[in-house]
Structure 1
Amino acid sequence: MGAQVSIGDFAVMTSLTRKALRHYHDIGILEPAHIDSHTGYRFYDTSQVDHAHIIRRFRSLGMSIPDVKALLSTADTATRTDIITTHLEQMEVQLQQTRDTVGALRELLSPVCTPAHVELRHEPALAVWSIGATLDVSELDSWFGSTVRKLRDAVAAAASAPSVIVPGGLYDRELFLESRGKATLFVAAPHSADPPEGIRAEVLPQAEFAVLTHSGGHEGIDRSYGALGIYANEHLISHQGPIREHYLGGAPPDPTTFTATEICWPIFSTTPPPE
């Protein structure tokens, strides 16, 4: 044991305020060495200074009170390492999210630019295997991942030889307008094969599109949507049909990660389709 000091001196020694020290006392992670029964004054032992510094440092790094409490209550090195490692991983995720947010904010300082290249494309009728669902936007990511895997597995099992599988999606306007609507994922149907249970065989009708390729993952795709929509409405005649996407560059180890997305904005064409 060291010397007992007042809460004022202890605050100076540890850079913890009176309010913080009282709070840490109340929750049981830094209790005074002695409380005067007549005055209620708190006194701390100088041996508690290092303990207080540990609490302050971890709290300044964003560690939760329960994790600080668990860290201080165990003498097991492996348990302490697990707690600190988990917190470091959480901080790395938060740091990346902050970097992404900063990048997005910087991008928003400049207006949406006319895309460098918009292709006008006639998509012929296409026989596909598809899975559709009516979803909230918040459910879309998890549904997308499981559905892409299901379609890829079904085609791989039915195909007589390995082939490049390029999934696509159709998204009704209600998904954008109401945050709930119909989404459909599809792949080109294998020749001479019937789809397994839960997968529908259908033919997508021919259609005309303005197409913009968004490089990379989903990050920033809203800007590409904005640029393509501006082009389609200022230079073409926009059609109110579903938005179509094609997902390029997927690999078997992770079939839900793509290198690019073709955004296909439906338009009315004034020229006949190619024969």
Structure 2
Amino acid sequence: MGVRVSIGDFAVMTSLSRKTLRHYHDIGVLAPVHVDSHTGYRFYDTSQVDHAHIIRRFRSLGMSIPDIKALLSTEDAAARTEIITTHLEQMEVQLQQTRDTVGALRELLSPVATPAHVELHHKPALAVWSIGATIDVSEIDSWFAVTLRTLRDAVETAAGTPLEVVPGGLYDRALFLESRGDATLFVPAPHSARPPADVRAEVLPPAEFAVLTHSGGHDGIDRSYGALGRYVNEHLISHQGPIREHYIGATAAHPTTFTATEICWPIFSTTPPAE
């Protein structure tokens, strides 16, 4: 033990404000060694200064309170290393995301006038197995992964072997407009097979689309949507049906990693159908 000091002196030694120290006491991160029962004054021990510095530094780096509590409560060096390593890895991911965002903003501020490569496609009727749901935009990533796994498992069970399938999605305009709406994932239906109970067999009707292929993963896909939507509204007639996507390049080992996404914007065709 060191020497007992007032909260004022402890604040000076640790660069933690009175308000912050009281909050850390309330949540059990850094408790004073003594609280006067009559005045309510908090007193700390000089031996707590290092802990206070650890807490302040890790909080400045974004570590959560539960992780800091776990870090300070364990004497296991391996456990401490794991907590710190995990947090550093999270910081590296966040740093890369920040770099990507900065790069995207620089592109927006200094745009390169490259015309969007848009093709007009007639998609014929397509028999599919599908799963649909009404979801919030915040849920879409987790829903996508679980639903795609269910569809792939269903198709592989029907075929009796792993298959390289090109899944697709249908997204209601409400998802973009209201942040909640209908979403459907689908895969081409296996021949001569019936889907399991949680999967629907249906036929997507023929439709006309303006199509732009977004290379790589999901990063930057908003720019591709913007370019495609601009082209459609400037040169074609937009249809208010759901947006359709096709996910290209996935493998059985990495079913949610794609090399490209084909974005299909529904349009009204100005060309009469062939007879």
TM-score by length of 2: 0.79
1:66-112, Cα deviation, whole Å (9 max, x unpaired)? 54444334433233323323332332333233233323333332469
RMSD: 3.6
Equivalent residue, structure 2, for 1:198: 198
Whether the aligned pair in 2 keeps the contact of 1:113 and 1:227 (CA below 8 Å) is no
Equivalent residue, structure 1, for 2:150: 150
SS of corresponding position for 1:195: coil
Equivalent residue, structure 1, for 2:57: 57
Shift of 1:29: 6.2
Shift of 1:230: 0.9
Cα distance in 2 between the residues matched to 1:156 and 1:58: 47
Equivalent residue, structure 1, for 2:89: 89
Cα distance in 1 between the residues matched to 2:215 and 2:247: 10
SS of corresponding position for 2:230: helix
Distance 1:114 1:204, change over 3 A: farther
Shift of 1:16: 5.6
Equivalent residue, structure 1, for 2:117: 117
Structure 2: tracts of 5 or more residues without a match: none
Deviates more, 1:259-268 or 1:200-209: 200-209
Shift of 1:51: 4.7
Cα distance in 2 between the residues matched to 1:58 and 1:153: 43
Cα distance in 2 between the residues matched to 1:249 and 1:215: 10
* 1:117-136 alignment runs, 5 A limit: 117-136=117-136
Shift of 1:233: 1.3
Q: Counterpart of 2:132 in structure 1: which amino acid? A: G
Asked which structure has the greater CA Rg, the reply is 1
Distance 1:108 1:27, change over 3 A: same
1:210-261, Cα deviation, whole Å (9 max, x unpaired)? 1000111122212111111111111112222221111101111231221111
Equivalent residue, structure 2, for 1:236: 236
1:250-275, Cα deviation, whole Å (9 max, x unpaired)? 11123122111101111122224457
* 1:203-222 alignment runs, 5 A limit: 203-222=203-222
Q: Counterpart of 1:249 in structure 2: which amino acid? A: G
Whether the aligned pair in 2 keeps the contact of 1:212 and 1:263 (CA below 8 Å) is yes
Whether the aligned pair in 1 keeps the contact of 2:123 and 2:207 (CA below 8 Å) is yes
Q: Counterpart of 2:244 in structure 1: which amino acid? A: R
State the number of aligned residues: 275
1:137 partnered with 2:137: yes
Cα distance in 2 between the residues matched to 1:86 and 1:139: 24
Distance 1:19 1:217, change over 3 A: same
Shift of 1:158: 2.0
Q: Counterpart of 1:144 in structure 2: which amino acid? A: F
Over the matched positions of the two proteins, sequence identity in percent amounts to 83
Cα distance in 1 between the residues matched to 2:31 and 2:22: 9
Equivalent residue, structure 2, for 1:271: 271
Whether the aligned pair in 2 keeps the contact of 1:112 and 1:226 (CA below 8 Å) is no
Cα distance in 1 between the residues matched to 2:226 and 2:54: 49
Shift of 1:18: 7.0
Q: Counterpart of 1:84 in structure 2: which amino acid? A: I
* 1:14-93 alignment runs, 5 A limit: 50-93=50-93
Cα distance in 1 between the residues matched to 2:23 and 2:162: 64
SS of corresponding position for 1:127: strand
